[in-house]
Amino acid sequence: MSSPEKEHKWFIEQTSPGTAHMFAIKDYLVATRTPYQQVEIVDTYFFGRMLFLDGKVQSAELDEQIYHEALVHPAMLMHEEPRRVLVIGGGEGATLREVLRHPTVEQAVMVDIDRDVVALCKEYLPQWHRGSFDDPRVKLLHQDARKFLEENEAHYDVMIIDLPEPVEEGPARRLFTWQFYSLVKERLNAGGIMALQAGDFSLPFLEAHSAIYNTIKQVMPDLHSYSAFIPSFNSDWSFIVASKDSTIGAFEANEIDRRAGERHLALDYYASETHRRMFAIPRNIRKRRNAETTIIDDDRLLTIY
Ligand code: SAM
């Protein structure tokens, strides 16, 4: 990466009322408002190209591989034979890209509410999707994913939920409630597994993760929090994987390398060794998370800053 001049502009992502991340801007490529959200695509000096929605970083060229492998492969490898997969959100096409690496996949349906975001990602983020939208196994739909699940009875082996955080007025807020997770469970096949990104996993910011975890637990009690450090998020970022029929509780980390080998996956970040690190949760985080009593409800939505 080249270094910024002394005088340069900064993109400031405010992460709480008292904290922010700053990225030195090389080139400002896109700033537009779609019917659903504010979209910005920026070339930064350190992290390369970055996508922001409603001012929040979604992914960066330098480390999107870590984020997308961490989101997709635990659920996909915990399932013995994922054939039908649903991606909820996932605008950049990188979640889809990682799903399609599994030769077991016969169909991957992606439902992203925002046609404009996906069109911009197709044009500006080719390193993310790498042609995944053109794979004949893919069906791409533009609709609210909750409405889609309510109106369609199709079932899936794995669902990967790659939504932005539930910011005020954002399009994803009704997809973090127990009502939504019940619907997800209904639309999973027997033995089905879901995974999602679930917010910052560092202690001062743990409230959202804890509330999401406790909400899913009411519906699918066989669940795990895990995390990966994402440099462009400047944080240990959390994910949750949960199963419909309690099939992942006793899952052995050694299985990851064996199944990845069987599926001929040459992964960059995720492996049995990485799995052990990602699923090892510090005691203070576990304690705080397990003490959470909030259940996110359609009448009491979670809002993060
Ligand atoms: N990696 C991300 C992060 O860190 O938050 C999320 C990535 S992806 C860009 C999120 C996508 O979810 C966006 O393209 C957005 O349009 C989509 N989305 C938001 N609300 C949605 C909804 N209700 N139904 C379907 N897709 C939705």
Domain CATH number, residue 17: 2.30.140.10
Residue 216's pLDDT is: 98
**pTM exceeds 0.95:** yes
Domain co-membership, 40 together with 161: no
Marked catalytic residue, from 135, 162, 222, 268: 162
- Mark the ranges of the chain whose per-residue pLDDT is less than 50: none
- Provide the CA 186 distance to its chain's centre, in angstroms: 21
| 163 Cα: distance to centroid of ligand 1 (angstroms) | 4
Same domain, 231 and 259: yes
Predicted confidence (pLDDT) per residue in 97-141, tens digit:
999 999 999 999 999 999 999 999 999 999 999 999 999 999 999
**Is residue 26 included in any domain, yes or no?**
yes
- Confirm whether 189 is domain-assigned: yes
CA-53 nearest atom, ligand 1: 9
Nearest-atom number in ligand 1 for the CA of 111 is: 25
Assigned domain for 21 exists: yes
* 95 and 176 fall within a common domain: yes
72, 160 in Cβ contact below 8 A?
Answer: yes
Same domain, 127 and 275: yes
Q: How far is the CA of 254 from the centre of ligand 1 (A)?
A: 32
pLDDT value of position 302: 87
Residues 233 and 269 in one domain: yes
Q: Is the separation of the CB atoms in 256 and 226 below 8 Å?
A: no
Regarding whether 97 and 240 lie in a shared domain, the answer is yes
Residue 1: the pLDDT is: 55
- 24 and 96 both lie in a single domain: no
- Residue with the smallest CA separation from ligand 1 atom 8 is 90
27 belongs to the catalytic site: no
CB-CB contact of 268 with 188 (8 Å): no
Give the pLDDT score at 204. Answer: 86
State phi, psi for 197 to the nearest 5 degrees. Answer: -85, 140
**Residues 126 and 231 grouped into a single domain:** yes
Residue 254 inside a domain? The answer is: yes
Residues 31 and 174 in one domain: no
Nearest residue to 163 via CA among 152, 172, 154, 155: 172
Q: Within a domain: residue 302?
A: no
Question: Cβ < 6 Å from ligand 1: which residues?
Answer: 53, 58-59, 88-92, 111-114, 117, 144-145, 162-165, 171-172, 175, 197
Same domain, 46 and 175: no
pLDDT score recorded for residue 143: 97
Q: Is the residue at 305 inside a domain?
A: no
Residue 168, pLDDT score? 83
Indicate if 188 and 44 belong to the same structural domain.
no
Q: Note down the domain range covering 223.
A: 64-290
Q: How many domains does the chain have?
A: 2
In terms of domains, do 69 and 56 share one? no
